[in-house]
Copies of this chain bind each other. A is one copy, B any other.
């Protein structure tokens, strides 16, 4: 059996991203600086890009002083010593509140993601602002992929990642919000195990695993918002982060 080797590298040297920046140009410039030449990537290389820089480039910043809290937000904020404008910012991104308990606000975003605070985040944001999730992470991933492929003359995939918590387990892990160029799920159903027995319920969320792997080189304080993954064999496919959202009628923890 052939051994597969995957290499994951953080891309340093990407400057602070501000609204209107061309993110793919910044990434390519950082790659160029690194290699001292036009970078040559292995076809099928995967860029994992932190949601935070995608949102910033797309101008998905909200000034807190522009937010008028609803009475519900005021009440909740007072009870748990939160900023009511921040609570309102979360509710503004919310399709459905999943849990609002013990100071934790877990919601389903307009996209369908279930996460704490609807992905609204004040860390690594300019003073007085919060960063919202991209409007359409798949569209962002598609656009970034097209731009990177043109600039690098090489087929790549793009995953836009964010750091989510999960029930039952401590700590956050990176997951994929937007995907372009690969299928986020690998379906082993119907394949056979090493005893020749068919595998039943095995669908792997590889895009989430790729996002998690990338987080290991990105870190929260390293200032490295993009990772490059090489050596992961996959069939190119259009892909969508929406495939990673469990349909409501199959979810026992709504």
CB contact under 8 A between A9 and B3, given known A188-B221, A195-B127, A221-B199: yes
A173 lies within 8 A of B12 (CB)? no
Q: Contacting A9 at CB < 8 Å: which of B4, B123, B166, B246?
A: B4
| Closest chain B residue, CB of each to CB of A13 | B1
A222 lies within 8 A of B1 (CB)? yes
Distance A2 CA – B99 CA, assembled complex (angstroms): 40
Q: Contacting A1 at CB < 8 Å: which of B116, B173, B224, B245?
A: B224
Does A50 count as interface, using CB distance less than 8 angstroms?
Answer: no
CB contact under 8 A between A6 and B5, given known A170-B203, A212-B173: no
Q: Contacting A3 at CB < 8 Å: which of B2, B11, B174?
A: B11
Nearest Cβ on chain B to A162's Cβ, whole angstroms? 12
Nearest Cβ on chain B to A218's Cβ, whole angstroms? 9
- Chain B residues whose CB sits within 8 angstroms of the CB of A142 once the complex forms: none
Contact with B along A192-217 (1 / 0, CB 8 A): 11110101111111101110110111
Does A40 count as interface, using CB distance less than 8 angstroms?
Answer: no
Interface residues on A, range: 35 or more
Does A126 count as interface, using CB distance less than 8 angstroms?
Answer: yes
A4 lies within 8 A of B202 (CB)? no
Nearest Cβ on chain B to A231's Cβ, whole angstroms? 8
Contact with B along A154-176 (1 / 0, CB 8 A): 00000000010011111111110
A223 lies within 8 A of B194 (CB)? yes
A167 lies within 8 A of B251 (CB)? yes
Nearest Cβ on chain B to A216's Cβ, whole angstroms? 6
Q: Contacting A99 at CB < 8 Å: which of B16, B171, B223, B252?
A: B252
| A12, A197, A205 pick with most chain B CB within 10 angstroms | A205
Nearest Cβ on chain B to A249's Cβ, whole angstroms? 9
Residue contacts A-B, CB under 8 angstroms, 15 given: A5-B8, A6-B213, A16-B194, A123-B193, A163-B204, A169-B175, A169-B205, A170-B244, A170-B246, A171-B185, A172-B205, A188-B220, A192-B221, A202-B220, A209-B213
Closest 8 CB pairs of A and B: A171-B205, A213-B213, A167-B253, A114-B168, A212-B212, A209-B212, A124-B193, A6-B8
